[in-house]
Amino acid sequence: MSIFEALHITKSFTGHNALDNVSIHVPEGSIYGLLGPNGAGKTTLIRIINKITAPDNGKLMFRGKEYTHNDLLHMGYLPEERGLYKKMKVGEQALYLSQLKGLSKSEAMKRLKHWFTKFEMIDWWNKKVEELSKGMAQKVHFIITVLHEPKLLIFDEPFSGFDPVNANMLKNEVLKLRERGTTIIFSTHDMASVEELCDNITLIDRSKSILEGRVSDIRANYKSNIYELEFEGDPEKLVQKLNGSYELRELTPLEEGKSRAMIHLTDSGLGNEFLKLAISSVKINSFREVLPTMNEVFIKAVSENKKYT
């Protein structure tokens, strides 16, 4: 069941069509990737969802009803461009913004202390925001965004400015939020994070939605019959057995006489036939189909879209 839907959204600015009949259906309790090249229309859609701007046509639905300003109380938005007041103290500002989300001062203080301790930031409570690094400011913004426990979260490039350790920590918190039933719309250019976190995606390019669905299904649909074979033995014997019937894309030596071969089959049904040939020449340790990464899917889908637009 979809907790949020944007239906047939169009939006134009002077001389520019930003969104053209774009729809998304966000399943409840999922992490939904909103993807696209720079200028594709993602930011415009996010601003429409947050009622910063209005669509020219189309409508938004929240839990089966038309989306209203009151529904914003059930949302949290972490923008790519941070908006903290630089001269205010960190704790004072976090408390103020938390109360704007409807929390009492005592409840906001209790939750803030928990998160600041968890993120090892309690010593920064009385420092000014301008003293924070980009990553530390991002932590503060993340805490404020999730503190009122919204049903729907929108994260726009949430890991920018983080070192790998803190990025991984934040990813774990995002996964915990999903486990507790929070729905997350996640906009990023980091396709590795999409594979790691997202259940479903929509890819927008040149103002249109060109790809949508479950990440696992999309990767399977873009497969190209590439298989990884790990084996022990003489690689030359394997190459001779192939005899031009199968395309060897890559051959990599591993440790202790082991090797890895990337094989292209013209048809996925040839897997068993290929294995019979391979077994007669080398010892097989593993054989698996290699699905394309989301980065490869992204590049291919956008490239194909350019050919027809």
Residues of the chain with CATH 3.30.70.260: 224-289
Residues of the chain with CATH 3.40.50.300: 2-220
Q: What is the CA radius of gyration of the chain?
A: 24
Q: Alpha-carbon distance 197 to 35, whole Å? A: 13
Selection from 149, 144, 152, 97 nearest residue 121 by Cα: 144
Mode of pairing for the β-strands spanning 247-253 and 200-205:
unpaired
What integer pLDDT is reported at residue 268 of this predicted model?
Answer: 67
The string of DSSP codes covering 265-287 is -SSGGGHHHHHHHHHTTSEEEEE
Question: CB atoms < 10 A from the CB of 79, how many?
Answer: 19
What integer pLDDT is reported at residue 244 of this predicted model?
Answer: 65
Residues β-bridged to residue 152: 75, 183
What integer pLDDT is reported at residue 256 of this predicted model?
Answer: 85
What integer pLDDT is reported at residue 272 of this predicted model?
Answer: 85
User: Quick check: 139 and 119 in contact, CB under 8 A?
Assistant: yes
Selection from 303, 255, 277 nearest residue 263 by Cα: 277
Q: Tell me the residue type at 279.
A: I
Question: Quick one: fold of 224-289?
Answer: Alpha-Beta Plaits (3.30.70)
Residues β-bridged to residue 60: 6
Q: What is the sign of the dihedral through the CA atoms of 133, 42, 304 and 265? A: positive
Q: Alpha-carbon distance 191 to 159, whole Å? A: 12
pTM of structure: 0.88
| pLDDT < 70 stretches in the chain | 82, 243-245, 268, 308-309
Q: Which CATH class is domain 2-220?
A: alpha beta
Q: Alpha-carbon distance 28 to 26, whole Å? A: 6
Contacts of 42 (CB under 8 A, 6+ apart): 34, 35, 36, 187, 204
Q: What is the sign of the dihedral through the CA atoms of 222, 224, 225 and 231? A: negative
